[in-house]
C-alpha cells in the first residue's frame, strides 16, 4: 500500500513540474471586428506589433497588445493579407480583394501612412523574412525596397 501511495505522489509531483514548464497562450485585448480574421503579425525590434485583418486593414500596438490603433491612411483597399518588415525597418503590406487589383504598400513611418508600390500582378500573398519578394500568379519572384 505504501508503494502505491508513493507512486501516486510521485506521479502528481511529476505532472505539476511538467505542466509548470509548458508555455501557455493567453488572450490579448485586440482590435475588434465583426466577421474578420487576423492574417499576419510582425514585431519590430522596439516591440511595436502590427497585424492585418480581413476587413479592417492594418493595426499597430505599442504596448504589447494591450491597445491597438488602426493604421490605414493611404491604403486604397483595407483588406490586408500579409505583412513584412525589411532589415532596414520598412514595413510592407499586401492585400487582395475579389474583383479588385491586389496591391503592395510600403510604410516608412511605422504605419502612420502607406504608399502604393506599382506592380502588375494578379495575386499577392507572402513575404520572406530577410528579403522582400512578391509572389505573383503569372510572374516571377523579384526583390523590392
Between the two ends of the chain, the Cα-to-Cα distance in Å is: 72
User: What is the CB-side half-sphere exposure of residue 107 using CA atoms within 13 A?
Assistant: 22
- What pLDDT score does 36 carry? 65
Residue 66 lies in domain: 28-143
Asked if residue 68 belongs to a domain, the reply is: yes
Pairwise pLDDT comparison (75 vs 99), residue with the higher score? 75
Confidence of residue 95 (pLDDT cuts 50, 70, 90): confident
**Statement: the pTM of the whole predicted model exceeds 0.85:** no
Which CATH number does the domain housing residue 84 bear? 2.120.10.30
3-state helix, strand, coil in the chain (%, to 5): 15, 30, 55
Could you read off the pLDDT of 12-35 as tens digits, one per residue? 656 555 555 566 665 665 555 554
Q: Per-residue confidence at 100, pLDDT binned at 50, 70, 90?
A: low
Domain count within the chain: 1
- Residues near 68 by Cβ (< 8 Å), separated by ≥ 6? 30, 31, 51, 59, 60, 61
In a domain, 124, yes or no: yes
18 assigned to some structural domain: no
Instruction: Give the angle subtended at the CA of 127 by the CAs of 124 and 130, to the nearest 5°.
Output: 155
Region 64-79: mean pLDDT is: 83
Q: What is the mean pLDDT of the chain?
A: 71
143 against 105, higher pLDDT: 105
Task: State the Cα torsion 96-97-98-103 to the nearest 10°.
Answer: -50
Q: Which of 37, 35, 65 is nearest to 50 (CA)?
A: 65
Q: Is 43 a domain residue?
A: yes
Q: Using CA atoms, how far apart are residues 141 and 132, in angstroms rounded to an integer?
A: 9
- Answer yes or no: is 21 within a domain: no
Copy the grid coordinates of residue 10: 510521485
Q: Which of 23-32, 42-51, 71-80 has the highest mean pLDDT?
A: 42-51
**Is 33 inside any structural domain?**
yes
The model's confidence at residue 91, banded by pLDDT at 50, 70 and 90, is very high
Predicted confidence band of residue 66 (pLDDT cuts 50, 70, 90)? confident
List the beta strands (DSSP E) in 18-123: 38-43, 49-53, 57-61, 69-70, 80-85, 91-97, 100-107, 115-117
Amino acid at each position: 500500500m505504501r508503494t502505491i501511495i508513493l507512486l501516486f505522489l510521485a506521479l502528481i509531483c511529476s505532472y505539476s513540474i511538467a505542466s509548470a514548464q509548458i508555455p501557455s497562450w493567453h488572450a490579448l485585448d485586440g482590435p475588434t471586428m465583426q466577421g474578420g480574421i487576423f492574417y499576419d503579425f510582425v514585431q519590430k525590434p522596439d516591440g511595436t506589433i502590427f497585424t492585418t485583418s480581413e476587413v479592417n486593414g492594418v493595426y499597430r500596438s505599442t504596448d504589447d497588445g494591450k491597445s491597438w490603433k488602426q493604421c490605414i491612411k493611404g491604403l486604397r483597399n483595407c483588406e490586408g493579407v500579409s505583412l513584412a518588415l525589411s532589415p532596414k525597418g520598412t514595413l510592407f503590406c499586401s492585400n487582395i480583394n475579389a474583383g479588385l487589383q491586389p496591391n503592395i504598400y510600403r510604410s516608412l513611418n511605422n504605419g502612420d501612412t502607406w504608399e502604393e508600390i506599382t506592380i502588375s500582378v494578379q495575386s499577392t500573398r507572402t513575404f520572406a523574412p530577410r528579403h522582400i519578394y512578391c509572389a505573383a500568379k503569372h510572374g516571377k519572384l523579384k526583390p523590392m525596397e
